[in-house]
Chains A and B, each alone.
Chain A
Amino acid sequence: MTPTRRSLLTASVGATLMPALPRLGRAQAANTIRIGVLNDQSGAYRDISGPYGIECTRQAVQEFGDKGFAVEVIAADHQNKPDVGANIARQWYDQGVDLIIDVPTSSVGLAVNNVAREKNKAYINTGSATSDLTGAQCSPTTIHWMYDTYMLAKSTGGAMVKAGGDSWFFITADYAFGHALERDTTNFIRAAGGRVNGSVKYPFPATSDFSSFLLQAQASRAKVIGFANAGADTINSIKQAAEFGVTRGGVKLAALLMFLPDVHAIGLRTAQGLVLTESFYWDLNDRTRAVSERLRPRLKDVRPNMASIANYSCTLHYLKAVADMGVAASKASGVEVINRMKAMPCDDDAFGAGTIRADGRKLCPSYLFEVKSPAESKGPWDYYKLLQTTPATEAFRPMNEGGCSLVRS
C-alpha cells in the first residue's frame, strides 16, 4: 500500500523496461484480471472500508487460488468527490482494469455507475447506499452487493415505528445518499401511519458540529431523531446528542446507517441501546467467525463490517464467474460477466448462500442489532446482540417497484 523506496525503484525500473518488452507485457495482461478498489482512503468514510476493504479483496484473491489466470488488485482514493471518482474509473477502465468495486459515497457511486455502463465494464458497488443503483439508474454492468437505503429504512426505520416512534425529525447529509435514505425511511414511516415533523439538510462533508441541528430536532417535539448520514458524521451526531441530553424525555435516536467501527469509535457508554442494521457481524455464526479469523492477519486489531467484507464476498463470486466463462470473454464484455454472475448462485462465509436479481440487486438477509451495554460486552468488538432477522427475499425493495428499465423490458 504505502510506497516504499524499494517499490518505487521497482516501479521506475519497470517503467523503463516497459517499452522494450511490449509483447511480454501484453501477453501477461491478456491473462491477468485486474480489480480496482475505489474508495475513501482519507475522509469521513475511510474506516468503514478504506484500507480494510482493500485487504478483504486481497484475501478473496488469495483464497480463490490459482485457476490458470493471474489477478491483480489496485486501489485509489476518490476523496468522496464524484468528479475525482469518475475520472479514476475512466482512466482505470481505459488502462485495462476489468472490474471496479467498493465505491462508497452515493454521489460517487452513481457517477462511476455511468462510466461503467458507457465502457461496458463490470462494476460491483459495495459501499454506496442509494437504492437508485438498482432503481431508476440501474445498469446491465452493475451489481449492488450490500445494503441500500430501502433495506436500512425497512429494518431500522420499520422497527423504530413499530416500537412507538411515530413522529420523526431527520438530520440529513445534503447529497444523493442522505436524500435517498430520508426518502425511503419517510415512505415506511407514512405507510405505518407515522409522520415526519421536519428535517435539516447539512453540508457534507464540511460539518462536524451537529449541536445546532440537534436542538432544532428537539424543538420539533418529534419522538425519533433519524440520522440520515454515515461514518464520522454519525459518530459526531450521536456523541453530541448525548452531550446535549437530547434523549432526556424519551426521544429516541435512529442511526439509519451505522457500522461496527462507528460503534467502536463512539464507545459503548454512549452507544449502548442504539439499534442498527447490518448484513454481517463477525460473531454471528461459525462461518462469519471463521472468515473473520482468517482476515485477522490482514486487518490486525480491526474487525470486518458489512461494507469491508462485501469486497471479499463479491470478489470471490466475480472470480468464479471469470473462471467459468474464461478470461478473454470476461474481459471482452462487462454485461456478459455480470450476466454470468447473476446466473450463478453465490455462497461464501461472510453472507452465506445468496442470489443476484435481474436488476443487479444482490440478496442477503438483513439483521437488526442492538448495541450492548458495557456490562454485557466481553471486550473490544463484542458489541452487538441480534434482535431480528429479515430474510433475503423480504429485505430489499420488490423488483417491480424500483422502476429499473432492465426489468420492464
Chain B
Amino acid sequence: MDDIFGIPAPLLFGQLLLGLINGAFYAMMSLGLAVIFGLLNIINFTHGAQFMMGAFAAWMLLEWAGLNYWWALVLVPIIIGFTGVVLERLMISRLYKLDHLYGLLLTFGLGLIIEGVFRNQFGSSGLPYRIPAELQGAWDLGFMFLPIYRGWVVIAALVLCLATWLIIEKTRLGAYLRAATENAPLVQAFGVNVPRMVTLTYGFGVALAAIGGVLAAPIYSVNPQMGTNLIIVVFAVVVIGGMGSILGSIITGFGLGIVEGLTKVFYPEASATVIFVIMAIVLLARPAGLFGRA
C-alpha cells in the first residue's frame, strides 16, 4: 500500500473521515454560538452545558418516558430551546446594555452551576445510551470500518448547518435578523418586534446545541463534563472563523476537525493544543478571524 508522509494511505483516509465527524460537532456547536453572538452580542458560555443537557434530556426521555432516539431528536431541541428562552428572558436580557464581559461571566457561571447540579445527580462516569436500531452496524469502506451512526452524524450536521445558513441568508426572517444585528432601533421602528426576535434567536441557538447533544449521546457516554471538553475548542473555532460569521463557523468547524484528526496521527500529544496554536496564529495575522469583517 502507498504511504503518504510515512503513514499508510488507508489509515490517513480513515483519520480524515474521523476528523470530519468531530468537525461536524464543532460546526454545529460553533454555529449556535455564532448565531447568538451575531444578534445578541453575548458570548454564550452556557453552550457546553446546554449541549450536555440535550444529551441528558435524550437519556431521560428514553429511560423515564420510553421515547426513543427519533422522538428525542424532535422533542429535545424544543424542550432545551424553551429553557434557553426562559433563561434569556429572566437573566440575559438584563445585560444587553452592559459590557460583553458581564454576559460572558453570567453564562460561564450558569454553565458551571448546571454542570455541578448534573454531576451531583448523575456522577461522572456517564450513562449509557444505545445507538438506535436503524443506525446500528457499520460499512466496510475498504480502508476503514465506518459505523453507520457516525456517517449519519456527519450528514445530519451538514443538513442542519446548511438549513441554518439558508434561513439566515436567504429568507425574509433571516433578513430581519441580519438587519437587527446591524441596527436594532431602526428595525424596531419598522414595526418588527426585536426583543422577541432576540429571545427566539437565543432559543434557536440553544436548540442547535441540544440537537448536538442528542447526536453525541450514543457516541460518547452521556456525562456532565461532555460539554466542558467541547466548549473551549468550539470557542476557539468561533474565534478562528470570525465572531458572528455563520459560514465561517461552519467551514472552520469541519476544517479544524480534520486538522485535529491529522495531528492525532503525526503527533498525538499535541492533538489537544493544535487548535489553540492555530487560533493564536490567526489572531496575529487576521484579528477579525478568517471570515470575519474587521
Contacts and interface: CB of A to CB of B under 8 A. Distances in A.
B125 A212 contact: no
Contact of A215 (B116, B126, B144, B273): B144
Interface stretch (A54-62, A238-246, A333-341, A354-362): A238-246
A208 B226 contact: yes
B265 A42 contact: no
Contacts of A219: 8, 10-11
A268 to B, nearest CB: 10
Interface in A242-285: 243-245, 248, 261-262, 264-267
A403 to B, nearest CB: 27
B18 interface: yes
Interface string B1-40: 0000000101100110011011000000000000000000
A37 interface: no
A321 B225 CA distance: 40
A47 B272 contact: no
A207 B272 contact: yes
A42 B113 CA distance: 12
Contacts of A47: 123-125
B125 A43 contact: no
A214 to B, nearest CB: 10
A165 interface: no
Given A2-B120, A208-B229, A216-B11, A232 B138 contact: no
Interface in A57-99: none
Interface in A165-189: 174
Contacts of A212: 15, 18-19, 261, 264-265, 268, 271
A251 to B, nearest CB: 12
A174 B220 CA distance: 20
A239 B18 contact: no
Contacts of A245: 138, 145, 147
B99 interface: no
Nearest to A270: B128
Interface stretch (A151-159, A197-205, A311-319, A383-391): A197-205
Interface residues of B, number: 41
A203 B10 contact: no
A115 interface: no
A236 B223 CA distance: 11
A42 B115 CA distance: 10
A267 B119 contact: no
Interface string B187-221: 00000000000000000000000000000000111
Contact of A236 (B11, B221, B272): B221
A304 interface: no
Nearest to B261: A212
B271 A215 contact: no
B149 interface: yes
B168 interface: no
Interface in A211-243: 211-213, 215-216, 219, 231-232, 235-236, 239-240, 243
8 contacts: A43-B124, A45-B124, A46-B125, A174-B269, A207-B271, A240-B219, A264-B125, A266-B128
Given A203-B270, A208-B220, 10 more contacts: A47-B124, A174-B269, A202-B264, A231-B125, A232-B126, A235-B126, A243-B147, A244-B147, A248-B145, A267-B128
Interface of A: 2, 42-47, 50, 174, 200-203, 206-209, 211-213, 215-216, 219, 231-232, 235-236, 239-240, 243-245, 248, 261-262, 264-267
